[in-house]
Structure 1
Amino acid sequence: MIRTLAIAFISLLIFGRCAQQVAPTGGKKDSIPPNLVESFPVNKTLNFKGKKIELYFNEYVVVDNINQKLIITPEADNPYTYKQNGMSVALTFKKQFEDSTTYTLNFGDAIKDFAEKNPAKNLKMVFSTGSTLDSGRVYGSVKDITTNKPIFDALVGLYNVSDTLNVAKQKPYYFSRTDSSGTFSIENVQTRAYKLIAIDDKNRNMLYNAKDERTGFVNQIIKAGADSVAYQINMFLSDNTPLKIQRTLPRVNNYSVVFSKPIEKVGVTFMNKDTLPYLLENGTALKFFNVDPHPDSTLVKLTATDSLGTVTDFEQKIAFQAQRGKERQKDPLGLTTLPEQNKPLTNEFVYQFVLNKPIKFLDDQKITLITDSLTHEPLHSFPYSWNVTHNILTVNAKSFAKDSIKWDLPKGSVISVEDDTLARTLLKHPVLNEENYGQIKGAVLNADTSTHFIVELVDEQFKVFKSVYTSPYTFRHVPQGKYMIRIIIDANRNKRWDTGELDKNRQPEAIYYLQDKILLKSNFELNDINITLPK
């Protein structure tokens, strides 16, 4: 009996294993996307009056995020539900489409085969609720003006021309989205006048959010037609939202006024005889320091200028928190430098000491530049200057060091408005070795005497290494690596790039890139790296 049971158990194990289902191995992977074999209505149907659209494919399909990926132009404001059933997909709309209108349904990659999820290619349907199909077309490409890179998935829209057009509140009448190469094509549109605008549309609500979305536009009103030109749209970030005081942060030692966006500069006017030291932190917070004696509150007028040059005035009451303990707990006095510590320096250099509080005393005899063990030059030997808020010291220095350059700041040589001081600080920098760096020379061609420009050398992350304002130009002491050169047309001569404004129909200052990247090796000099401006 035991032997019989053992044989039965072994047999069950063997045949049980043989009966397991295993995914088939080998064979060619399915890489063929599903094909549309039939649709209702038929593509390019006229006088369509229905509310249901059906698509039939040659294999089993699945639907992937169709509510986000299906683009219907013009924007229909017509909700729909969908049903996927084996080899077919059906869309049922809530109401009939508007009369005498050509509609385009672009499915993108919303429908894929069941097995390998290959998306159906170029899946698009066009129909008209009238007796003709509109034939207008607008096409072109979109790029970021600062990087010269194409922008993927930007919303490019045709807007009805109106004096009250507001893309933050109005959706485009026709639209498309850019592909990975930044190109777009809006087809089957009515042949009439439009405003052509591109936006990032990160939240896909088809409305422009100036706070964090780029935009770009064509200045002139365009007319869609079968033979329209290719439009190049340069997108840029332009926060034109009204500048506001977002919040205030009252403390015992200081009082911060935080703005709703970065500001370029701010003027402070005290409305009474009292004054307080202050500084601008990170471009967004204006910090006032509580120094005695002063009244319980101080009224100030703030004149703030944002990146678009818009000036806004505020009146603000500065009121510090009441002190509860016997002694204030102060934030420590901090120091950073430009260039950063341990960065190589040439023997002639511009140096910045950046402190986190306004400074009321600096001993320019005790602060010294150390060239070697015997040579200590006091700070007053060099030209230096403070910024308006007295927290950034800029020095034009010169050294004869061979190995390292050092700044020695003894304790007590820097005292803030809060009467605290830095601990003894020693800042070290190696002397730059010319053999470890390269040089790039070139010229700007086709520029007349009236053209003001900025030549910038940028790395692969578009970080600016150096800017110059003349031609021919020379970039010295460039680390080995890959670089790009771009030219900014400085139309207003302020030695910086200025963005555009959609509301004012003002384009950003033009930027032109050298077509090829530059590969620079150590101890090499590249000459005749010229860039030609268009005529």
Structure 2
Amino acid sequence: MNKIFWNGFCFVAVMIALVIYACANRGYPQGGEKDETPPKVIKEVPESYSTNFKGKYIDIYFDEYVQLKEINNKFVMSPPAKKKARVSLRGKYIRVTFQDTLLPETTYTLDFADAIVDNNEGNPLGFYRYVFSTGPKLDSMELAGQVIDMESQLPVLGAMVLFYENHADSAAMLELPNYVARTDSAGMFRVTNIKNTTYRILAIDDANRDNKFMPEEEKVGFIDSLVTTMAFPVVVYDTIRPDTVVLEGRRTKKGVELKVLTQDTIVRRDYTAFGPSNLFIPMFDEEKTQLYLVDGDRKERERLDFIFSIPAENRLSVRLRGLHLLEKEDQSDWFLEERSAGRDTIQLWIKDSLVYKIDSLTALVTYLRSDSLGKRELFTDTTRFYFKDKPEPKGRRKKDKDTIPEIKFMEVNVGVGGTADLNKGIRFDFDRPIHEDGFKNIHLFEKVDTIWEPADFTMKRDSLKIRRYELGTKWKPETEYKLVVDSMGIYSIYGLYNNKIEKTFKTKAEEDYGKIFVQVKNAQTPIIIQLYQGDKEVKVLEERWIEKDGKVMFDYLNEGKYMIRGILDRNGNKKWDTGNYLKGIQPEEIKYLPVEINLKKNFDVEQEFDASKTYKREDPSKKKNTENKDNRRNRSNR
């Protein structure tokens, strides 16, 4: 009986403990609602918009603890000082300490953007600006606008906009600006409390943060003409909450019935606006003109590489020294030259085995390079080129003398898969220069019924890349072909042969392609119409040049989405030309058509491009965010 009682007592005790635990858990704190209230400024010492400021620092107090988020990137003091002001965090207040002497009789603006956030959730204070004057009055004029990257037509974030009272072009490189502003994510800028005068305005990316422009090193944009501040009256009519007006009353059985009428109250507001506030600055990379040799190296035993700073005529000449076989005036026959389109990359393939087998080569290298004044002069330097074969990995078992060595083949990349386009050839890329007489060992067959019949073709070498060739022929639609390269049929100038290559593929049907016709209207200059894909990273697929109004065609296009942009080719040289600040040249305008063409197979699409219209390109990042929101909405509705 005692045992039964004891078991029952334990059971009741356990149940009571579980109930108490559950009740205790029910009241456990979960942290409450998320704090979404931004911090508030409760005191400024001295107060913002103070005059006759003589201090060394200012303090700004908040109603809660705050943090400084990317303060070095977001804080802007205007006018700028040689020694930048220091912003320090002190719990519930921040201190701005001036490390340089402030200018007399000058209005200063401290722009914190959204760098001040609360300590818990990171809620931003907002775009906070503090203003004071070292003189008896505050300047009150303003200027505002937008900075756009001319090539991408997208807003530029974090560009520094410089305002100069000195109108000389050179002031941007030699002097601190009178005022500065930084662009936000929309490329917008606004400078307040500036003098009422005329300014030269430019924008730079200011890589070294010195508030000065470095030509060819930093992106730049400028306004062609000088800008004068102005103030003008503005009248705005606002509609406020309706008033209730009693018009009449009449007696009924239930009492007096009132007829009422509500009418809006229109209020006139007069204020002063400052501007201009619609300034537009197209930003661009200047064409680099400083020519010099970036690198001269020997990455492979048989090859010397030379990389120059810019595409330009460099008159490179390399003369080997210390080799009796090459001690002669004409040394042009010891190498094959391969170069990029602008000659900024040049590769010299050494033909003579007696030369490339030497680990250390000495050469006199002569080329054009820019001096301190930008003038290009011939320069000669003695250069050593080293190459040493990599040692075999440790632990590798030594092969017996009787073991047959592994055959090493020349690497060949043949650009064809299971299908081939009707308008393209087959590209061959060899890893070494080759002897072209081996092309007789390349065979192309066309399948007629069930029989492989030989097909005619040509092999054409690329004008620049001497190791690249293209096989060309007139392809028949929906036809099966076979490409065969005989084993050891092609050999390089270094004695390596190819392994056997055999590829079978089929050409596409005419109906697999679509066409896009672009009708160009109101062209005042020649235009380059480019067909591209991609959003932020634009991949130009094809382009057409048209001198005046007319129609251009893009054919043999696969099914997919395409976009169009037009370059207003002012000088008619069939390429986009950038600008130059010191020469006062703006970059050629690029217009992105805000239409995505969804091309289907066997369809033709006609699209108008009006060169006189201003097209605004949609920011790809915002477009992607919108698509993500739509996708989440669609998933939630399932």
TM bracket (short chain): 0.7 to 0.9
Aligned pairs for 1:130-145 within 5 A = 130-145=135-150
Match of 2:574 in 1: 495
Aligned pairs for 1:260-299 within 5 A = 261=309, 263=311, 268-269=316-317, 272-275=329-332, 276-280=335-339, 285-292=345-352, 297=362, 299=364
Match of 2:292 in 1: 244
Deviation at 1:20, TM superposition (A): 12
1:46 aligns with 2:103: no
Match of 2:611 in 1: 532
Deviation at 1:317, TM superposition (A): 5.3
1:453 aligns with 2:531: no
Instruction: Write the letter of the residue equivalent to 2:453.
Output: T
Match of 1:174 in 2: 179
Query: Is the alpha carbon distance of 1:446 and 1:485 closer, same or farther for their aligned partners in structure 2, counting shifts above 3 Å?
Result: same
* Aligned-partner Cα distance in 1 for 2:26–2:424: 77
1:126 aligns with 2:131: yes
Indicate if the aligned counterparts of 2:318 and 2:365 stay in contact, CA closer than 8 A: yes
Tell me the SS of whatever aligns to 2:420. coil
Aligned pairs for 1:144-159 within 5 A = 144-159=149-164
Structure 2 unpaired stretches of 5+ = 1-5, 231-273, 320-328, 356-360, 391-406, 615-638
Match of 1:432 in 2: 508
Indicate if the aligned counterparts of 1:444 and 1:531 stay in contact, CA closer than 8 A: yes
Tell me the SS of whatever aligns to 1:68. helix
Match of 2:441 in 1: 366
* Aligned-partner Cα distance in 2 for 1:280–1:322: 21
Query: Is the alpha carbon distance of 1:212 and 1:436 closer, same or farther for their aligned partners in structure 2, counting shifts above 3 Å?
Result: farther
* Aligned-partner Cα distance in 1 for 2:483–2:608: 37
Match of 2:302 in 1: 254
Aligned pairs for 1:404-419 within 5 A = 404-419=480-495
Match of 1:507 in 2: 586
Tell me the SS of whatever aligns to 1:273. coil
Deviations 1:184-227 (Å, cap 9, x if unpaired)?
Answer: 11222234444422233456554557787533222344444543
Tell me the SS of whatever aligns to 1:143. strand
Query: Is the alpha carbon distance of 1:172 and 1:447 closer, same or farther for their aligned partners in structure 2, counting shifts above 3 Å?
Result: same
* Aligned-partner Cα distance in 2 for 1:240–1:190: 36
1:377 aligns with 2:383: no
Deviation at 1:71, TM superposition (A): 1.0
Match of 2:322 in 1: none
Deviations 1:364-398 (Å, cap 9, x if unpaired)?
Answer: 4332333325232354xx37344156333345431
* Aligned-partner Cα distance in 1 for 2:598–2:581: 37
Instruction: Write the letter of the residue equivalent to 2:422.
Output: N
Instruction: Write the letter of the residue equivalent to 1:410.
Output: D
Deviation at 1:534, TM superposition (A): 5.0
1:80 aligns with 2:86: yes
Match of 2:255 in 1: none
Deviation at 1:98, TM superposition (A): 1.6
Query: Is the alpha carbon distance of 1:91 and 1:253 closer, same or farther for their aligned partners in structure 2, counting shifts above 3 Å?
Result: closer
Tell me the SS of whatever aligns to 1:365. helix
1:35 aligns with 2:111: no
Query: Is the alpha carbon distance of 1:514 and 1:288 closer, same or farther for their aligned partners in structure 2, counting shifts above 3 Å?
Result: same
Indicate if the aligned counterparts of 2:519 and 2:606 stay in contact, CA closer than 8 A: no
Deviation at 1:72, TM superposition (A): 0.7
* Aligned-partner Cα distance in 2 for 1:215–1:357: 43
Query: Is the alpha carbon distance of 1:456 and 1:366 closer, same or farther for their aligned partners in structure 2, counting shifts above 3 Å?
Result: same
Instruction: Write the letter of the residue equivalent to 2:294.
Output: Q
Match of 2:94 in 1: 89
Deviations 1:30-78 (Å, cap 9, x if unpaired)?
Answer: 3232232432232222222122212233444333343332211111234
Query: Is the alpha carbon distance of 1:81 and 1:300 closer, same or farther for their aligned partners in structure 2, counting shifts above 3 Å?
Result: closer
Indicate if the aligned counterparts of 1:34 and 1:61 stay in contact, CA closer than 8 A: yes
* Aligned-partner Cα distance in 2 for 1:60–1:252: 61
Indicate if the aligned counterparts of 2:442 and 2:484 stay in contact, CA closer than 8 A: yes
Deviations 1:231-275 (Å, cap 9, x if unpaired)?
Answer: 222223346262322232236723434435453676545663012
Runs of 4+ in structure 1 deviating by more than 6 angstroms, as ranges, are: 209-212, 293-296, 309-312, 322-325
More helix per residue: 2
1:467 aligns with 2:546: no
* Aligned-partner Cα distance in 2 for 1:315–1:430: 54
Aligned pairs for 1:284-363 within 5 A = 285-292=345-352, 297=362, 299=364, 301-302=366-367, 315=380, 321=386, 333-336=410-413, 340-342=415-417, 344-363=419-438
Deviation at 1:476, TM superposition (A): 2.0
Indicate if the aligned counterparts of 1:500 and 1:506 stay in contact, CA closer than 8 A: yes
Deviation at 1:111, TM superposition (A): 1.4
Query: Is the alpha carbon distance of 1:197 and 1:344 closer, same or farther for their aligned partners in structure 2, counting shifts above 3 Å?
Result: farther
Query: Is the alpha carbon distance of 1:336 and 1:158 closer, same or farther for their aligned partners in structure 2, counting shifts above 3 Å?
Result: farther
* Aligned-partner Cα distance in 1 for 2:576–2:481: 34
* Aligned-partner Cα distance in 2 for 1:222–1:344: 60
Match of 2:252 in 1: none
Deviation at 1:142, TM superposition (A): 1.8
% same residue:
26
Query: Is the alpha carbon distance of 1:218 and 1:319 closer, same or farther for their aligned partners in structure 2, counting shifts above 3 Å?
Result: same
Indicate if the aligned counterparts of 1:278 and 1:358 stay in contact, CA closer than 8 A: no
Indicate if the aligned counterparts of 1:255 and 1:320 stay in contact, CA closer than 8 A: no
* Aligned-partner Cα distance in 1 for 2:171–2:304: 37
Indicate if the aligned counterparts of 2:198 and 2:228 stay in contact, CA closer than 8 A: yes
Larger radius of gyration: 2
Match of 2:253 in 1: none
* Aligned-partner Cα distance in 2 for 1:369–1:90: 78
Instruction: Write the letter of the residue equivalent to 2:284.
Output: F
Deviation at 1:120, TM superposition (A): 0.7
Indicate if the aligned counterparts of 1:152 and 1:178 stay in contact, CA closer than 8 A: yes
Indicate if the aligned counterparts of 1:512 and 1:533 stay in contact, CA closer than 8 A: no
Query: Is the alpha carbon distance of 1:377 and 1:19 closer, same or farther for their aligned partners in structure 2, counting shifts above 3 Å?
Result: closer
Deviations 1:335-354 (Å, cap 9, x if unpaired)?
Answer: 446xx432853334345434
* Aligned-partner Cα distance in 1 for 2:432–2:168: 51
Query: Is the alpha carbon distance of 1:414 and 1:135 closer, same or farther for their aligned partners in structure 2, counting shifts above 3 Å?
Result: farther
Tell me the SS of whatever aligns to 2:72. helix
Give the alignment's TM-score, normalised by structure 1: 0.81
Deviation at 1:281, TM superposition (A): 6.6
Indicate if the aligned counterparts of 1:367 and 1:408 stay in contact, CA closer than 8 A: yes
Query: Is the alpha carbon distance of 1:300 and 1:412 closer, same or farther for their aligned partners in structure 2, counting shifts above 3 Å?
Result: farther
Query: Is the alpha carbon distance of 1:25 and 1:388 closer, same or farther for their aligned partners in structure 2, counting shifts above 3 Å?
Result: closer
Indicate if the aligned counterparts of 1:455 and 1:468 stay in contact, CA closer than 8 A: yes
Query: Is the alpha carbon distance of 1:370 and 1:172 closer, same or farther for their aligned partners in structure 2, counting shifts above 3 Å?
Result: farther
* Aligned-partner Cα distance in 1 for 2:59–2:388: 73
* Aligned-partner Cα distance in 1 for 2:215–2:419: 40
Match of 2:280 in 1: 232
* Aligned-partner Cα distance in 1 for 2:316–2:111: 55
* Aligned-partner Cα distance in 2 for 1:161–1:527: 48
* Aligned-partner Cα distance in 2 for 1:84–1:197: 36
Tell me the SS of whatever aligns to 1:107. strand
* Aligned-partner Cα distance in 1 for 2:607–2:568: 21
